[in-house]
Structure 1
């Protein structure tokens, strides 16, 4: 008999849904006049939007922690070993992962970058096994690979080897995959002893990402003169509102990492590709195609299969970060435990 943690899976799928909303809205921003004015600067729009998005997200998290009376406590976690593991995870997932993603888009195009980068959960699963002893069953692997295959097929087009810069582009995307795959694994490691809660980890993550983008990435690749230009437009505040959806997605994602483990959390989070298709068709009035609909169904089915477990083998829950800390989380049974501290 198959089973899964209904609350944990719901939170994981919610992270995908809210990230799909965030992605669609960011796409609208990138097509706005504000960003199109400096479209000739290849890296400007995606890097600037990511920097501002993470900066606003860090602000929202600080406001949330302040309202909860936990802002000082959250900042104190920067002094802990667990907090610095989260800082490392944030660096790999934010500045490293996103910067090399954008550089890869410049070299081999958006289609190949999106399709190749979709394998990052498999890379994460490999490192989760090595570092956290997080094991997946054959059924779980089948689900994860199903989602990856259909996301890859959804975003694939063209001839990769027509590009003269394919070698450097592939190096960039491999570094991106490594960064994204390792983020959730190292974050899970940082949260495993409960010194840092998911909300505290998320605040640290967004502050770290925004700081590195603002101090290094933007000055090197873009220049803060363009940051000032965006800040003087209405688009700036729109990004701030979009970051609310992104922040909510991360809250769900980090809760899912804590409850289900990094691999299953990633498997559910990448359902955003399916959610984006459904939102486009149902809400935005996009064209319905049988191929895209079937791909969305298969991506979602793969995500669910990734987290299903054998009821007869509760001790083999590969989703647990480690037996002791995660069995404790399972006994608590409440995916929002850290929200109610």
Structure 2
């Protein structure tokens, strides 16, 4: 007999849905006149948008935690063992993962990078097993591989890559995969003893990412003159509104990690690819493609298989399965 943690699965799918909305809207921003002016530097638009998105997200979380009366308490958790693990996860998922993703896109192209990076949940599953004893059954692995394979098929356009930048580009994407795969595993470890709540973890995560991007990544790889240009446009405030959807997605994602563990949460989170296809056609005037629709169904089906548990199996609780 199979069972599904209804609450955790629903919250995980909500994370995917809200991230799909965030992704579609960020796509509009990157195609705007403001960011197209930076086209001579391929890395500028995605790095700047990530920096501003995480900065606004941190601000939204500060407001929320202030209303909840937990702002001061949250920052005091930075000095705890759990807080330090959350900071490490933030560095891996934000500055490390995203920066190396963009560097890889610059070296080997967006299609190839997106395809390879799609395997990060499998990497996360491996480390979750090693560090958290979060085991997947055969059906779970089948579901995860179905979702990843379908995402790769959707991402890869068939463009060939060549040139001396291929090797370094593949190295970049390996760092990205490691960063993204480890983020949820380390977050789960940081939250396992209840010293840091999902809300507190998210505030620490977004604040850490924004500070590192603003103090190191942008000054080293770009220049804050680009930030000033964006800040003086209407696009700046649009990113702030979009960050609300992104923040909500992370809130759901971190709660799902707490409830059903990092691997199943990652599998549900990549459902954003399928949701983005559906939303684009239904609400944003996107062209219907039977191929993309079928692939989206495989992604969703794989996600459902991943979260199914045998009734005799140990119950996933607080992000860690019983050994």
- Which TM class, normalised by the smaller chain length? over 0.9
Matches within 5 A, 1:257-296: 257-296=257-296
Cα-to-partner distance string for 1:259-303 (whole Å, 9 max, x where unaligned):
000000000000000000001111112111111000000000000
Matches within 5 A, 1:242-321: 242-311=242-311, 313-315=312-314, 317=316, 320-321=319-320
CA contact (8 A) 1:273 1:296 kept: yes
CA contact (8 A) 2:189 2:319 kept: no
| Structure 1 residues 266 and 159: alpha-carbon distance in aligned structure 2, compared to 1, 3 A threshold | same
Equivalent-residue separation in structure 2 for 1:222 and 1:17 (angstroms): 32
| Structure 1 residues 47 and 94: alpha-carbon distance in aligned structure 2, compared to 1, 3 A threshold | same
CA contact (8 A) 1:97 1:176 kept: yes
Equivalent-residue separation in structure 2 for 1:300 and 1:274 (angstroms): 7
Structure 1 stretches of at least 4 aligned residues deviating more than 6 Å after TM superposition: none
Equivalent-residue separation in structure 2 for 1:315 and 1:15 (angstroms): 25
Q: Which residue of 2 aligns with 1:217?
A: 217
SS of residue in 2 equivalent to 1:287: coil
Cα-to-partner distance string for 1:55-83 (whole Å, 9 max, x where unaligned):
00000000000001111111111110100
| Structure 1 residues 154 and 319: alpha-carbon distance in aligned structure 2, compared to 1, 3 A threshold | farther
Equivalent-residue separation in structure 2 for 1:156 and 1:127 (angstroms): 26
Cα deviation for residue 161 of structure 1 reads 4.2
CA contact (8 A) 2:111 2:159 kept: no
TM-score (normalizing by structure 1): 0.93
Q: Which runs of 5+ in 2 are unaligned?
A: none
| Structure 1 residues 318 and 166: alpha-carbon distance in aligned structure 2, compared to 1, 3 A threshold | farther
Cα deviation for residue 314 of structure 1 reads 3.8
SS of residue in 2 equivalent to 1:274: helix
Counting matched residue pairs gives 323
Q: Which residue of 2 aligns with 1:180?
A: 180
> How big is the alpha-carbon RMSD for the aligned residues of Structure 1 and Structure 2?
1.3
SS of residue in 2 equivalent to 1:187: helix
CA contact (8 A) 1:100 1:176 kept: yes
Equivalent-residue separation in structure 2 for 1:318 and 1:306 (angstroms): 16
CA contact (8 A) 2:89 2:186 kept: yes
Q: Which residue of 2 aligns with 1:99?
A: 99
Cα-to-partner distance string for 1:95-117 (whole Å, 9 max, x where unaligned):
00000000000001000000100
CA contact (8 A) 1:136 1:318 kept: no
Cα deviation for residue 163 of structure 1 reads 3.7
Q: Which residue of 2 aligns with 1:34?
A: 34
Equivalent-residue separation in structure 1 for 2:93 and 2:185 (angstroms): 10
Q: Which residue of 1 aligns with 2:145?
A: 145
TM-score (normalizing by structure 2): 0.98
Cα deviation for residue 162 of structure 1 reads 2.6
Equivalent-residue separation in structure 1 for 2:238 and 2:267 (angstroms): 29
